[in-house]
Structure 1
């Protein structure tokens, strides 16, 4: 792959957001000694510099067609970038902690264009499933029958019998039919018979008191009119 070095250097020093950066120890396939380099990850390009703050990188690794794997060195926090194509290289990197090693491996594994394409395809699938589910819910809501207010539907699988709550004596009597009797009611609701004397004693006293009060008011009004009608006496 032909790479324009000027464009790469300009991109490395540009204000493009950095996905991850920091010092790592690095070695190649041939040498066994590590060298400390300042690494900067931007997209799928892994730049490395001699030290932090340099304008031009020493090299760049294009993270396409490679895998991120642990090394066989169990006593070090090291991993490697392996290119499986013909003549592909392997880069060995080492950090100073388990957390740093895991963070770098995860960032490099998610940096390739192929990985991003898979992520976009998965997000598109999730979006389509969510839209289909929302459309199905809306269709079912429109198709569901609307119940009148105050009417509760019986439980599914159970029919509602409107005569379940009727008394035994009311089961066969329908208002307006020849079987219906107006005086058919429970004993607690039967009308109690009251004699005239009981009615007179209950309401007669109240009527008498109201009549006496009315007569007293009329007499007072008459007395007031008589006083106003008398001529004034001049001394």
Structure 2
């Protein structure tokens, strides 16, 4: 496969979306030691640079026809990019932590075109199943609605919210006669108000038939008012006697002098 190096380098340093990037260690092909490289994953191309922010990559790995495997006999957090077939090279990489290794392996495994093609086929299969299920459900619902319209009407009536029974409301402050308690009907008396207060000319018009079961305010006022007035008169009389006792010795003293 021929690769245009200039276009590839321009794509590596362009502002295109990056799927994943970070530091990894890579074992060399000739020198079996590990070198720290900055890796950038864009689509199915894995670029690696000597330093972060460089314009031209040191190399690129095309992630097609390969598998991502753990490198148990290598670094602690090592994994491999294995290309199957005779004469194909495998790349051994190492991450800084277990979490970083798992994230890199997952991103690399999902980067190939073959994986994307499988995902599209799986999504298309799920979409076909959903559309078929919706069609069957719609056909069954239409058939049931045509076969039993009366049952649907009954179901709607059963599911409708019940209406509360009508009730007759009355003012609880109005008194009800004996006829109302017997069920013959309601007959309300007007409660005491300013117009029906005792002492007014028209008070008997509204209160002549009402049994008085409570003491009125006037009766309370007259009862306690007389007692208070009597106590006040006694107190005033006592004060007057006390003042008279104080003034008599003073007059006697003036006469003596």
TM-score of the superposed pair, with normalisation by structure 1 = 0.62
1:151 is the counterpart of 2:149: no
Deviations 1:128-170 (A, max 9, x none): 1001100110010100032356535xxxxxxxxxxxxxxxxxx
State the partner residue of 1:165: none
**Displacement, 1:13?**
1.2
Looking at structure 1, the residues matched to 121 and 37 of structure 2 have their Cα atoms a distance apart, in angstroms, of 35
- Two-structure CA RMSD over aligned residues (Å): 1.7
Considering Cα pairs closer than 8 Å and 6+ residues apart, tell me whether 1 or 2 has the greater RCO: 1
Aligned pairs, how many? 153
State the partner residue of 1:49: 49
TM-score of the superposed pair, with normalisation by structure 2 = 0.57
Q: Is the 1:65–1:85 contact (alpha carbons within 8 Å) kept by the matching residues of 2?
A: no
Secondary structure at the aligned position of 2:15 is classed as coil
State the partner residue of 1:194: none
**Displacement, 1:85?**
2.4
Secondary structure at the aligned position of 1:73 is classed as coil
State the partner residue of 1:98: 98
Q: Answer 1 or 2: which has greater helix percent.
A: 2
Structure 1 residues 83 and 28: alpha-carbon distance in aligned structure 2, compared to 1, 3 A threshold: farther
Identify unmatched segments of 5+ residues in structure 1. Answer: 153-235
Secondary structure at the aligned position of 1:139 is classed as helix
Deviations 1:169-215 (A, max 9, x none): xxxxxxxxxxxxxxxxxxxxxxxxxxxxxxxxxxxxxxxxxxxxxxx
Looking at structure 1, the residues matched to 77 and 10 of structure 2 have their Cα atoms a distance apart, in angstroms, of 32
Q: Is the 2:28–2:35 contact (alpha carbons within 8 Å) kept by the matching residues of 1?
A: no
**Displacement, 1:30?**
4.1
Identify unmatched segments of 5+ residues in structure 2. Answer: 156-257
Q: Is the 1:29–1:90 contact (alpha carbons within 8 Å) kept by the matching residues of 2?
A: no
Structure 1 residues 123 and 112: alpha-carbon distance in aligned structure 2, compared to 1, 3 A threshold: same
Looking at structure 1, the residues matched to 33 and 98 of structure 2 have their Cα atoms a distance apart, in angstroms, of 21
**Displacement, 1:15?**
1.3
State the partner residue of 1:203: none
Looking at structure 2, the residues matched to 107 and 149 of structure 1 have their Cα atoms a distance apart, in angstroms, of 54
Q: Is the 1:13–1:55 contact (alpha carbons within 8 Å) kept by the matching residues of 2?
A: yes
Looking at structure 1, the residues matched to 150 and 49 of structure 2 have their Cα atoms a distance apart, in angstroms, of 73
